[in-house]
Amino acid sequence: MLRRLGALFATIALGLSFASPAHATGPTNTTPPMIYGTTIVGQSVSVTAGTWDSTPSSLSYQWFRCADPAQVTCEAIVGANAAAYALGVDSAGKYLKVSVTAITAGGGTTIQTALSIIVSLTAAATVPPVISGELLRDSTLTTTSGTWNITNAGFAYQWTRCTLATGGDCAAISGATSATYKLTTEDIGSFLKSTVTAVPTTPGYVIGSSNSTSYGPVLSQPVQVGTTTLIGSALEGETLTVSLGRIFGSPAATTTYAWQKCGSPSITTCATIAGETSNSLYVTQSMNGNYLRVVPTIQNDLGGVIVPSASIGPITRPAGPSNSVAPSIIGEANIDTTVTGYSGIWAGTPAPTFTTSWMKCTSADVATCVDIAGETGTSLSLKISDLGKRIAFKVTGKNRVATTAVISGVSAPIDYRAKLVSAPMILGFGLVGMKLTTIAPTWSESLDVPLLYQWQRCAKNDPSTCVDIPVAFASSYTLVQDDQDKFIRVGVMAGDKTARAYSVIGKDAVYAGADSPAAVKPAPAPVVTKPVTTPKPVAKPVVKATTITCVKGSLSKKVTAVSPKCPTGYKKK
């Protein structure tokens, strides 16, 4: 309830200021004093000195207590002459103000603060709440509200469960918010407290709380929450342990155990196993084919309960992991893809646990496979660095009997994901000086990457004789003299997404639309003719050039000359 009076109270305070005739020449106040602090009984509040037009040689204070905000009835508080004032019960429900007198050589001036907010009294219990009732499960406890220093108040309740008699290690009980509380199983052995909160209904009072003393412990014969179960497998060599669920009892309960071997699931076939009285049992070979169960007896001074488990069995011999459907790889082993490993179908008792790993192989023989470091998940991403390699998926099953590892079949060599649909083709004539161009290949999927070209020169019509032509990296290539009597082909790849696809090396001269040029021929040598000297030139008729159309399959070519002839492989139309 901290309040700091601001400009509004400053204005009021200026209006209330006065100067006595004796101090007519005293200092002038420029910022009024203000009361600050928490106005609750038991706390202290203080007053600022304010600011003045000249520095006072001394300051004096007088605190006042007012019965109403209109200041009709105000009285000076005897002895309250300091800048701070400790609030007592006599200030509860009242308002405060302070007169501040500043003295200088010229005289003194007194000014009053604005009123504080009402001084409040914290509700406090003079007699704490008291719990009564029978300390047994399902009994109902009742708490008093206590006796308080105020009369006009309502009360709220909260019950708390504690593990210690001193009231330590407590937690509020959800929903327990009335003056009565019915004890539950969760309360057995615990101590109860009630917290009562007084909520004043008149101004000038502040909410307060009070706790009862601890009440308990809550008594009960043993109560089991949950069931008795056996943890472990019905296998020779296993150790079975008992889980009783949650046991409540006060006084504390003790438990004894009796293990039984049964010829069938029926309890009528069960007999106690001599000497087995702990909460665990090692399963021996002599128990094979039988069923087992445990019969715990839980008791304290107030009574006891017998809570048998269900029987488990029949007891069998353990078996190591075995695989009936081998692991396999799901997905094509291509670059930029992720393949998944299928673990297969396994059996084993006890049930095996499994680990997986990926292997890299140098051939289709699984004996060449080695584990890939760090790749122990059920999926594997293939990268360009894996090109041409093979992979396998290994699953290892393990139980206390044995460890068995099974490897999938070895994959095909890791290839590019995009498959070649049509090889590149070359357009142009196989003549030195001619420009060859490329029709790009197509792949099984769209690849949004630049195409890379490499032209090659081959000694024969045999790909093994081909070598790269330096700096021939464009989609076109102009034949040079070094290409004479050679064969030309082009290789194209889509970035690092495909292998290089080569054009076919043809056997015949290649014209527009053919697959590739044949052996490159030199350009024909120019024909040199000597002039013929005659005694007298004889005028000859002018012979005009004619144009013929030559065809080869669906291709056609026009030839213009004095005596036009079709190129090799073409016929005159």
For residue 363, what are its two tokens? Answer: 């051939």
What residues contact residue 197 under an 8 Å CB cut-off, 6+ apart?
Answer: 155, 156, 157, 158, 207, 208, 209
By the 10 Å C-beta count (0-12 exposed, 13-18 middle, 19+ buried), 305 is classed as middle
pLDDT of residue 509 exceeding 60: no
Domain(s) of CATH 2.60.40.2700: residues in the chain: 2-121, 123-218, 221-306, 420-502
Rounded to an integer, what distance in angstroms lies between the CA atom of residue 350 and that of residue 310?
20
Mean pLDDT of the chain, nearest integer: 88
| Both tokens assigned to 379 | 């999926």
Whether 488 and 476 have beta carbons less than 8 Å apart is answered as no
Confidence of residue 184 (pLDDT cuts 50, 70, 90): very high
Q: Would you identify the CATH topology of the domain 319-407?
A: Immunoglobulin-like (2.60.40)
Cis peptide before 314 (omega within 30 of 0): yes
Kindly report, residue by residue over 269-289, the tens digit of the pLDDT: 999 999 999 999 999 999 999
Q: What is the dihedral of CA 397, 400, 402, 407, to 10 degrees?
A: 10
Question: 88 by DSSP, 3-state: which?
Answer: coil
pLDDT at residue 411 is higher than 70: yes
Residue 191 has pLDDT above 90, yes or no: yes
Kindly tell me if the per-residue pLDDT of 519 is higher than 90.
no
pLDDT at 96 over 90: yes
DSSP annotation of 106 reads: T
- Looking at residue 89, the DSSP 8-state letter turns out to be G
Work out the number of other CB atoms within 10 angstroms of the CB of residue 502. Answer: 19
The band of 536, judged by pLDDT with boundaries at 50, 70 and 90, is low
Of the two residues 536 and 25, the one the predictor is more confident about is 25
Which residue's structure tokens are 């032209």? 455
In this prediction, residue 550 carries a pLDDT of 83
SS (H, E, C) 175-229: CCCCCEEECCHHHECCEEEEEEEEEECCCCEECEEEECCCECCEEEEEEEECCCE
104 beta partners: 107
SS3 of residue 25 by DSSP: coil
Fold of 123-218: Immunoglobulin-like (2.60.40)
Peptide bond into 251 cis (omega under 30): yes
Q: What is the mean predicted confidence (pLDDT) over 58-80? A: 95
Q: Which residues pair with 46 in a beta bridge?
A: 36, 84
What pLDDT does residue 557 have? Answer: 79
- Residue 265 confidence (pLDDT) above 50: yes
Running DSSP on this structure, what letter comes out for residue 87? Answer: -
As a whole number, mean pLDDT of residues 520-526 equals 56
**Per-residue confidence at 416, pLDDT binned at 50, 70, 90?**
very high
pLDDT at 49: 94
d(CA 196, CA 133): 17
Classify strands 191-200 and 208-211 as parallel, antiparallel or unpaired: antiparallel
pLDDT at 11: 33
Task: Quote the strand ranges of 362-496, DSSP E.
Answer: 370-371, 379-381, 390-398, 403-407, 420-422, 425-427, 435-439, 442-443, 451-458, 466-468, 476-478, 487-494
**What mean pLDDT is predicted for residues 379-390?**
95
For residue 505, what pLDDT is reported? 85
- % of the chain exceeding 90 in pLDDT: 76
448-489 pLDDT, tens per residue? 899 999 999 999 889 999 999 999 999 999 999 888 889 999
- Distance between CA atoms of 188 and 202, rounded to whole angstroms? 41
**What local confidence, expressed as pLDDT, does residue 529 receive?**
53
Bond prior to 535 in cis (omega within 30° of 0): no
- CATH architecture, domain 420-502: Sandwich (2.60)
Distance CA(82)–CA(61), nearest Å, equals: 6
State the residue for tokens 């128990």.
287
DSSP bridge partners of 140? 182
pLDDT at 16: 38
3-state secondary structure of 129: coil
Contacts of 296 (CB under 8 A, 6+ apart): 228, 242, 244, 255, 256, 257, 258, 279, 306, 307, 308, 309
113: confidence class by pLDDT, cuts 50, 70, 90: very high
Q: Is 98 exposed, middle or buried (0-12, 13-18, 19+ CB in 10 A)?
A: buried
The span from the CA of 428 to the CA of 436, in Å, is: 5
Q: Which of 46-50, 382-386, 503-507, 522-526 has the lowest mean pLDDT?
A: 522-526
What pLDDT digit, counting tens, does each position of 312-368 carry?
A: 999 999 999 999 999 999 999 999 999 999 999 999 988 999 999 999 999 999 999
Q: What is the mean pLDDT of residues 403-411?
A: 97
**Quick one: pLDDT band at residue 506, thresholds 50, 70, 90?**
low
Give the span between the Cα atoms of 34 and 6, in whole angstroms: 8
Torsion of CA 309, 315, 321, 326, to 10 degrees: -90
The per-residue pLDDT for range 11-56, each reduced to its tens digit, is: 333 333 333 444 358 899 999 999 999 999 999 999 999 999 999 9
- SS3 label, residue 91: helix
Spell out where 265-331 has E strands.
270-272, 280-282, 291-300, 303-306, 319-325, 328-330
pLDDT for res 537: 53
Q: Which of 456, 431, 426 shows the shortest CA–CA distance to 441?
A: 426
Residues 219-263: pLDDT tens digits?
A: 999 999 999 999 999 999 999 999 999 999 999 999 999 999 999
Asked if 382 and 336 count as a contact pair (C-beta separation under 8 A), the reply is yes
Residue 339 β-bridge partners: 380
Q: What is the pLDDT of residue 572?
A: 82
Indicate if the pLDDT at residue 375 is higher than 90. Answer: yes
Q: Are 301 and 278 in contact (CB under 8 A)?
A: no
**2-121 CATH:** 2.60.40.2700
307-314: average pLDDT: 96
| pLDDT for residue 549 | 85
Q: Which fold has domain 221-306?
A: Immunoglobulin-like (2.60.40)
Q: Look at residue 533 and tell me whether its pLDDT is greater than 70.
A: no
The Cα 110–Cα 76 span in angstroms is 15
Tokens for 125? 């219990």
The pLDDT score that the predictor gives to residue 21 is 41
User: How far is residue 42's CA from residue 39's CA, in Å, rounded to a whole number?
Assistant: 9
The whole-angstrom separation of Cα 566 and Cα 551 is 8
User: Mean pLDDT across the stretch 401-422?
Assistant: 95
Q: What is the mean pLDDT of residues 422-438?
A: 92
